[in-house]
Structure 1
């Protein structure tokens, strides 16, 4: 665009500043349009429409402004002689630059939006999981209280002395539930102590008709973590669904194999007045998935019922 002018002349210096002004005007105008359009169009939902709108918008702004400012430049600094071929070429170069810079901007925006969307999704998933886990934990209280009060009612009618002992022991068991239901994991040692306390309630009512055999080295108890109130649910489940007596007791065994607790009992199915809701077992399975990302395994047959609980080894 500059022909015979030398760098020392004031006219060249002013024309140079004028072209910088053109660049500034094009840059700021397109930047404003780009940021304004971001609030109306989403890359994830309407990518094609956004591309079309961006291309047309920056073209309708950049081409007229560039043409107008270049004509003014020729009028001021080139004695009014306009070279339209050169203006066309210059506008084409400007459009290529604007499109390239716009592409860089949008790529940066897209990467940031993708990261933000991923973070939001992870936060929502975590919030959902926490809400589900809290709801599952809140089911433990009424489930335990309902079954314990039924047992207490039975003992009050038939064996008042045992009822008092049961009530005292129930308070200790319920204290553990209140203290630990908000925790995601507890030491296996704590859970085993709680199971022993809970089983003492069952022994008060059923005496020798129920038996618990724990075939695990106590030295391992402090090496593993487990969701709280897991074993109690399985023992309670076995009591609820099976017939037993002093002559034919219900034996519940707990073993450990390959970092899994194996809880087993023989099946002598009890005829229930209404179908089981399986709330306890389903609750345990959902809590396990949310807390440990592992699933429990249930193996049931006509004669045996076995549940495998993965436990987390402390590194």
Structure 2
């Protein structure tokens, strides 16, 4: 051990500054190693390799530089009398302290990195969901226009007066689509009004061959939310895939059970020249997952087709 009282004031101050310099070099050197290794080894993908390399790198830097600087210190301030036991003990203590500080340092960094990765993932997922939802919303327009123009073309050939009435009603229906397709959710009340307007278009063409029965208490119409243009897609789907006539009408029923809308119709499959892509039903299912985080349920048998739509109750 060195007797600090034997040093003159200036030499004591220089000795103190030198020990601070030792601490500075050890700190900055290890800090440089940490940042350098961080770009090569990832805690999440290669944790074991990261620990091994980190411990080895710190050891091979900290122990030699500590011992070397202490030898220089003894030569400068202790007349070259070197206490090797003291150097070994001090180097070991410094090494333990560096490992402890590194552990704290890396833990804080790891927590921050995990939070940052989580935030980035959430932002990417949100952006992806918004992009997908926007794409699905944009599919509604061409799908609806295509079917409506087919109907209008048919009516123009058969009945000009009905074609004019259909065109007027179509404007009201399309106004709802333009106003609400950008919204993720609408009141059940609004959706049911739109459905009635849409069904009036079907009645112009098919008259008594199609029937819509809604068994929902009006009291709850303003208590629930639903993705817009959901019910219209299911009614359109039923019309497209089933045979019906005045004698044997297609009856579509809508009722509520346990915060779900149950849409049901009997199955009398229409023979289609081209197999259905079911884009409307698929579109609805994807929109539901992205908008409400819930999934629709489809149950089909030889005689019945039922879709359950979960709706969101306003808190």
Q: TM-score, normalization: structure 2?
A: 0.95
SS of the equivalent of 2:307 reads: strand
Per-residue deviation, 1:312: 0.7
Contact 2:4/2:12 (CA < 8 Å) preserved in 1?
no
Question: Cα offset for 1:86?
Answer: 1.6
Alpha-carbon distance between aligned partners in 2 of 1:44 and 1:257, rounded to the nearest angstrom: 46
After superposition, the CA RMSD in angstroms is 1.7
Partner SS for 1:54:
helix
Residue of structure 2 equivalent to 1:53: 53
Q: Matches of 1:22 and 1:118 in 2, distance apart?
A: 39
Quote the offset at 1:278 in angstroms: 0.8
User: Is the contact between residue 285 and residue 296 of structure 1 (CA under 8 Å) also seen in structure 2?
Assistant: yes
Runs of 4+ in 1 over 4 A off after TM superposition: 6-10
CA distance change for structure 1 residues 79 and 8 in 2, over 3 Å: closer, same or farther? Answer: closer
Give me the whole-angstrom Cα distance separating, in 1, the residues matched to 2:271 and 2:252: 20
Gaps of 5+ in 2: none
Q: Which residue of 2 aligns with 1:91?
A: 91
Does 52-61 or 138-147 show the bigger shift? 52-61
After superposition, what is the alpha-carbon deviation per residue over 1:49-97, rounded to whole angstroms, capped at 9, x for unaligned? Answer: 3223322322232222212211111112111111222212211111111
After the TM superposition, which residues 1-315 of structure 1 pair with which residues of structure 2 at under 5 Å, given as runs? Answer: 1-3=1-3, 5=5, 9-315=9-315
Task: Report the 3-state secondary structure (helix = DSSP H, G, I; strand = E; otherwise coil) of the residue aligned with 2:139.
Answer: helix
What is the number of residues matched between the two proteins?
315
Q: 1:61 and 1:153 mapped to 2: Cα distance?
A: 84
Q: Deviations over 1:5-60 (max 9, x none)?
A: 36985544432332222112211221122123222322112223322332232223
SS at match of 1:5: helix
Structure 2 distance, partners of 1:9, 1:149, is 100
Name whichever of 7-16 and 24-33 sits farther off: 7-16
TM-score computed with the length of structure 1 as normaliser: 0.95
Alignment deviations for residues 72-126 of structure 1 (CA, whole Å, 9 cap, x no partner): 1111211111122221221111111111111111111111111111111122222
Unaligned runs of at least 5 residues, structure 1 = none
